Amino acid sequence: MSVWQPGAVLDLKIDTLNHTGDGVARWQGRVVFVPDAVPGDRLRVRLQHVKPQYANGVLLEVLERSPQRVRPACIVADKCGGCQWQCIDYHAQLAAKEQLVKEAIARIGQLQPQAFLPILAAPSPLGYRNKVTYPLARRHGQVVAGYYQKGSHRIVNLNQCPVQDPRLNPLLATLKADLQPWPIYDESTGSPGVRHLGLRIGQRTGEQLITLVLAGDIPPHLEGQAQRWYDQFAAVVGVCVNINSQRGNRIFGSQTRVLAGQLYLREVLAGIEFHVGATTFFQVNTAQAEQLIQTLEAWLALSGTEHLLDLYCGIGTLSLPLARSAARVTGVECHPDSVTQAIATARHNGLTNTEFICAVAEEWLPHWCNTVDVLLLDPPRKGCDRAVLDAILGQRPPRIVYVSCHPATLARDLGYLCQAGAYQLAKVQPLDMFPQTAHVETIALLTAT
């Protein structure tokens, strides 16, 4: 009987980690991917989802612990799907992420940067998240809140989380208890109720925002409960409700209103004050977002004469700090609320050299005729649309900074921009925005040849 089949048990040595966070082992020329594994581990593994050259495995037993294996900070880390790498020493996490970026640039992009810089570690590998959104359910009559168990839609109940800002922990435990009398959304039936609990904190200001995501109408007396939370927690500046009655995995709906206090909290990032609402996209790691901005400032060394175009600008998180050193900044973003917020933030901070445009990048850029000195790209995980890349090659801005949370699409796009000799890859800087996970942020600098 062949050993290479579902259900077979193998003893394997873990060599490396892949981009999804799984350990990678090799057996007779084939590859086995094992969750919860650490490089250097010897493991007993049961095969599943077997293909001719690779398989997934389930960890049965740690036969020999790697020196890089550590005790997780979270007591439910083996069940919760929120973090993948709490069992891995932080220095080993950094080394793995740096290697993932190097391999993607070389293998997918077919590029060798002039300088590949060591990864920028997070000052706090725990307690760094300024935003959490927990799904809710009722189990055995009790309200549970947490992250989904790995590979399932069963919630792992939490009263605290070691990767969220510790100042949010008292809110989680108290709010979960206070929600006990209220209707809780049932995803199997779609019955109305509270479906998510969102918590945000301004890590530089200490201000906190509570958001309940509801399916259906706002229950009677919920405003009274919101006011009690607002009065109970001195740091809470607002309690909001977001309506999302659509079934599926989307967390927020389009409508948000305030129940007590205000719709936003204040946060200061790189000296710019932002107003961050319940659904605002804002980097979850404030300290590392500031390291990212400092890197951009050092690389660009703007002299006050440059025109900078930020093509996926969001609320201006990157372009507004840079506007202080540029002659002119143009931001393009497809979400109207983000554009409105970027304009208001620029005005609030006294930045008069900025313009923000609501448009889809791939539709807008090919028809834009102005010249720019610096192009800033920070696209979604899927990377840039081909029309954007072709427009860039047609317009040839002297310098491009590409910020990405996905090494594979980053490498693909860099390779496309460099393949005809129009650009060279000057620098690559990985940055650990998301400790305890396999995700990695990367900054790349392209210069026109």
The DSSP call for residue 52 is S
Residue 193: closest CA among 219, 220, 154: 219
Phi-psi map region of 236: left, alpha, beta (phi>0 left; psi -120 to 50 alpha): beta
For residue 354, the one-letter residue type is T
Catalytic residue from among 74, 83, 240, 405: 405
C-alpha–C-alpha distance, residues 299 and 288, integer Å:
16
C-alpha–C-alpha distance, residues 279 and 84, integer Å:
25
Residue 350: closest CA among 383, 386, 324: 324
Residue 200, strand partner residues = 131, 209
C-alpha–C-alpha distance, residues 140 and 275, integer Å:
39
Are the CB atoms for 157 and 176 separated by under 8 Å?
A: no
C-alpha dist (Å) from residue 234 to 183, 393, 440: 27, 52, 35
Rg from Cα positions in the chain: 24
Please report the sign of the dihedral spanned by the C-alpha atoms of residue 289, residue 290, residue 291, residue 297: positive
Phi-psi map region of 368: left, alpha, beta (phi>0 left; psi -120 to 50 alpha): beta
C-alpha–C-alpha distance, residues 228 and 175, integer Å:
11
Per the annotation, the verdict on 334 as an active-site residue is: no
Q: Hey, which residues are catalytic here?
A: 405
